[in-house]
């Protein structure tokens, strides 16, 4: 117990508190700051780039998580079918999750290249477009591109965990429902969905949390550009704190993420509680 | 009448009737092959194609000669006529790549071992030793799991600096466990809970102390859990980026992900071949590991979520 507690307190709890403290100081790299109260936050309140990053983060999280959930659930249902080579298929699906994000992001970087993009090339040769798509140079293109890359990476996780949940649902329930005349949608709505809810809540909490605080993908693909259009709060805080050296301001941005995260955790937590209460389950 | 209904519900129906447990055939025999072709195989293959294409492209780019990389009109870009290992050769003998691989491996293995030891003790203490607040500690660990690195890296960088760890592998070996310990503790708690009390009581009667119980009885029984935790932690370490980016500055100390992003870009000229070769070589150890331990990966992922 002790070693774990020591490491966690020294490198997790203490930094967390320190981070909040730093956000109230004007610390720079190489010198500790003095207490300046809410100055950093007041400054951020009037900072357009910060609000842009908040907007980007919310857009990124909402769109990516929703699509990840939809596609992940669909893929889980598909993989739950009787398929030949089922085991291999499932193993292969997880590969995007295993490969380090940075390395797959580099592959996406090359796929999104302005001049030599394979996607542009294919569409051009199919006659659908006449000029190359500027994936990462245009504001909205860049946003959709990073969102797509994020979805690509997140779907396997959602799909495989939901699949594990699906496999605990007994087929006899579906057979009984079919005999009672339930349609496919009703079977999904009244059997699959309720039984899957607890797992959905947990998976989505994780998914939302990690999408919200994403850093690697954006940093590799765009570094926040073009004109800050893809800056998330995490990348902006890195840029301000480490590259420009304004530790205080960077920590203020990082601290500003905490309320959002708490909200996400609480929502899923209460979702879970309600479900347990409805089903009369023991909380274990 | 029933036919009409069935036709109306054709699409989601076959998807859902297939939602069955592994061992039984369920109701899927009710469906005809052509319908399954459209509702199952077609969407599945599209999704698989999208999921796997970037890897194919990565691999292909890494073995293409330079002139074919940028020449897309003469030869089809989807294939290469003259595969070459030049990029891998450059990578291994003209850059620090082997060193970076070694760094990554060293950091990942050390951090994983530290975290596993810490979390075995922590998990055992939480699950088996009775003291007040055990449940509370468990909850705190789960919360710690939810704190993302991107909030912590700024204060951690000042901490690392104060302890004089900046730009050393120890900075990473000591900070990675903050991500790993909560996860593996949570996972191991699940495993320990499944080990029956009676075994430990027997051991106690036979005169074993707590430490002997842990090493002789609990750990051997929890081996699958340990493997899962180990592999998953290793993957997470290998994957980690933001700490490594922040805490390391010397080129020769960097880990693979950071080094690839920062060292392979000369001004505006991207060496795509080497870049992709680096990405392939960096992913390969994990993919090989994964291939051997698929079940453990899935167990780790779903175990951590289900608890």
Distance from CA of A108 to the nearest CA of B (A): 7
What residues of A are in contact with residue B296 (Cβ under 8 Å)? none
- Whether chain B has a CB inside 8 Å of the CB on A262: the answer is no
Cβ–Cβ < 8 Å for A57, A233 = yes
The answer to whether B50 contacts A247, with C-beta atoms less than 8 Å apart, is no
- Contact map slice: A 29-68 vs B, CB within 8 A: none
What residues of B are in contact with residue A67 (Cβ under 8 Å)? none
Across the range B115-144, mean pLDDT stands at 78
Looking at the partner chain, which of B9, B146, B258 has a beta carbon nearest the beta carbon of A265?
A: B146
State how far the Cα of B19 lies from the Cα of B42, in Å rounded to an integer: 17
- Whether chain B has a CB inside 8 Å of the CB on A88: the answer is no
The answer to whether B154 contacts A242, with C-beta atoms less than 8 Å apart, is yes
Q: Which of A65-74, B137-146, B195-204, B208-217 has the lowest mean pLDDT?
A: B137-146
What residues of B are in contact with residue A3 (Cβ under 8 Å)? 117-118, 121-122
b/e string for A73-84 if b means 16 or more Cβ within 10 A?
bbbbbbbbbbbe
Regarding an ipTM greater than 0.90, the answer is no
pLDDT for the residue B266: 57
Residue reference for tokens 């291999």: A88
The answer to whether B154 contacts A241, with C-beta atoms less than 8 Å apart, is yes
Most B-contacting residue of A81, A88, A209 (CB-CB within 10 A), to test interface: A81
* pLDDT band for position A67 (cuts 50, 70, 90): very high
Is the model's pLDDT at B177 over the cut of 50? yes
What is the value of pTM for the model shown?
A: 0.83
Report the length, in residues, of chain A: 284
pLDDT for the residue A63: 93
Across the range A270-277, mean pLDDT stands at 62
First to last CA, chain B: 45
Distance from CA of B205 to the nearest CA of A (A): 24
The answer to whether B286 contacts A98, with C-beta atoms less than 8 Å apart, is yes
What residues of A are in contact with residue B146 (Cβ under 8 Å)? 205, 209, 261, 265
Cβ–Cβ < 8 Å for B105, B173 = no
The answer to whether A110 contacts B275, with C-beta atoms less than 8 Å apart, is yes
Task: Identify the structural domains of chain B with CATH numbers, from first to last.
Answer: 2-76 (no CATH), 91-306 (1.10.3720.10)
Closest CA to B194 of B307, B105, B73, B294: B307
Tokens of A184: 């496919």
- Whether chain B has a CB inside 8 Å of the CB on A126: the answer is no
Cβ–Cβ < 8 Å for A115, A132 = yes
Contacts of A114-123 with C-beta under 8 Å, sequence gap 24+, read: A116/B69, A116/B70, A116/B72, A116/B272, A118/B57, A118/B77, A118/B78, A121/B72, A121/B77
Q: Which of A94-103, B1-10, B115-124 has the lowest mean pLDDT?
A: B1-10
The answer to whether A106 contacts B40, with C-beta atoms less than 8 Å apart, is no
Is the model's pLDDT at A251 over the cut of 80? yes
The answer to whether A238 contacts B257, with C-beta atoms less than 8 Å apart, is no
State the average pLDDT for chain B.
Answer: 77
The answer to whether A5 contacts B256, with C-beta atoms less than 8 Å apart, is no
State the average pLDDT for chain A.
Answer: 81
With a CB cutoff of 8 Å and minimum separation 6, the contacts of B78 are A118, B60
The answer to whether B25 contacts A247, with C-beta atoms less than 8 Å apart, is no
The answer to whether B287 contacts A98, with C-beta atoms less than 8 Å apart, is yes
The answer to whether B117 contacts A3, with C-beta atoms less than 8 Å apart, is yes
Across the range A171-179, mean pLDDT stands at 86
The answer to whether A77 contacts B15, with C-beta atoms less than 8 Å apart, is yes
Is the model's pLDDT at B82 over the cut of 70? yes
Across the range B282-298, mean pLDDT stands at 83
The answer to whether B276 contacts A107, with C-beta atoms less than 8 Å apart, is yes
DSSP 8-state symbol, B251: G
Interior angle at CA A48, CA A43 and CA A54, nearest 5: 95
Q: How many CB pairs under 8 A join A and B?
A: 305
- Residue of chain B whose alpha carbon sits nearest to that of A240: B154
b/e string for B208-230 if b means 16 or more Cβ within 10 A?
beeeebbeebbbeebeebbebbb
Is the model's pLDDT at A189 over the cut of 60? yes
Looking at the partner chain, which of B28, B258, B260 has a beta carbon nearest the beta carbon of A106?
A: B260
b/e string for B233-271 if b means 16 or more Cβ within 10 A?
bbbbbbbbbbbbbbbbeeeebbbbbbbbbebbeeeeebb
Has domain A30-279 been given CATH number 1.10.1740.10?
A: no
Q: A77-121, pLDDT tens digit by residue?
A: 888 877 777 778 888 888 888 888 888 888 888 888 877 788 888
What residues of A are in contact with residue B159 (Cβ under 8 Å)? 11, 14-15, 18
* pLDDT band for position B31 (cuts 50, 70, 90): low
Tokens of A258: 């905490």
- Whether chain B has a CB inside 8 Å of the CB on A106: the answer is yes
Looking at the partner chain, which of A81, A96, A202 has a beta carbon nearest the beta carbon of B51?
A: A96
Cβ–Cβ < 8 Å for A73, A162 = yes
Ranked by mean pLDDT, the top range of A24-33, A150-159, B17-26 is A150-159
């Amino acid at each position: 117990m002790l070693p774990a507690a020591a490491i966690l307190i020294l490198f997790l709890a203490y930094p967390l508190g320190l981070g909040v403290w730093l956000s109230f100081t004007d610390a720079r790299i190489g010198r500790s700051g003095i207490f300046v109260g809410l100055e950093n936050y007041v400054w951020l309140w009037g900072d357009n780039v910060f609000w842009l990053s908040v907007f980007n983060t919310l857009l990124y999280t909402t769109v990516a998580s929703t699509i990840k959930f939809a596609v992940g659930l669909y893929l889980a249902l598909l993989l739950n079918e009787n398929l030949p080579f089922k085991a291999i298929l499932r193993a292969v699906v997880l590969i995007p999750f295993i490969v380090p994000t940075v390395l797959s992001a580099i592959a996406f970087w090359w796929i999104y290249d302005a001049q030599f993009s394979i996607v542009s090339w294919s569409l051009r040769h199919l006659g659908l477009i006449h000029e190359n798509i500027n994936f990462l140079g245009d504001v909205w293109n860049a946003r959709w591109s990073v969102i797509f890359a994020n979805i690509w990476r997140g779907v396997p996780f959602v799909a495989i965990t939901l699949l594990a949940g699906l496999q605990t649902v007994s087929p006899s329930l579906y057979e009984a429902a079919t005999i009672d005349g339930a349609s496919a949608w009703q079977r999904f709505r009244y059997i699959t969905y309720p039984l899957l809810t607890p797992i959905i809540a947990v998976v989505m909490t994780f998914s939302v949390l990690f999408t919200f605080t994403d850093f690697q993908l954006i940093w590799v693909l765009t570094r926040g550009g073009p004109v800050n259009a893809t800056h998330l709060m995490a990348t902006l805080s890195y840029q301000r704190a480490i590259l420009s050296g304004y530790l205080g301001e960077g920590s203020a941005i990082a601290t500003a993420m905490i309320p959002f995260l708490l909200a996400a955790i609480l929502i899923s937590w209460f979702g879970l509680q309600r479900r347990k209460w409805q089903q009369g389950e023991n909380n274990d | 009448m029933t036919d009409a209904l069935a036709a109306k519900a054709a699409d989601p129906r076959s998807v859902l009737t297939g939602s069955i447990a592994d061992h039984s055939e369920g109701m899927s025999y009710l469906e005809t092959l052509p319908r399954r072709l459209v509702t199952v195989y077609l969407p599945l293959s599209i999704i698989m194609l999208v999921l796997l294409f970037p890897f194919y492209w990565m691999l292909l780019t890494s073995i293409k000669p330079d002139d074919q990389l940028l020449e897309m009109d003469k030869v089809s870009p989807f294939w290469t006529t003259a595969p070459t290992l030049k990029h891998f050769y450059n990578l291994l003998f003209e850059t620090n790549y082997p060193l970076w691989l070694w760094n990554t491996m060293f950091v990942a293995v050390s951090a994983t071992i530290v975290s596993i030891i810490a979390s075995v003790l922590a998990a055992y203490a939480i699950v088996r030793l009775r003291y007040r607040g055990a449940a509370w500690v468990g909850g705190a660990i789960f919360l710690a799991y939810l704190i993302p690195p991107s909030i912590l890296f700024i204060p951690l960088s000042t901490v690392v600096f104060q302890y004089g760890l900046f730009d050393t592998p120890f900075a990473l070996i000591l900070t990675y466990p903050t991500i790993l310990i909560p996860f593996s503790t949570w996972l191991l708690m699940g495993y320990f809970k499944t080990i029956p009390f009676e075994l430990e009581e027997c051991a106690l009667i036979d005169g074993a102390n707590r430490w002997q119980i842990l090493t002789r009885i609990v750990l051997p029984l929890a081996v699958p859990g340990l493997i899962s935790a180990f592999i998953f932690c290793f993957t997470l370490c290998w994957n980690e980026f933001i700490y490594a980016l922040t805490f390391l500055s010397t080129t020769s100390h960097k880990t693979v992900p950071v080094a690839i992003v920062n060292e392979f870009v000369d001004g505006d000229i991207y060496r795509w071949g080497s870049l992709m070769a680096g990405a392939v070589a960096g992913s390969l150890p994990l993919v090989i590991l994964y291939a051997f331990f698929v079940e453990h990966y899935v167990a780790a992922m779903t175990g951590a979520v289900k608890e």
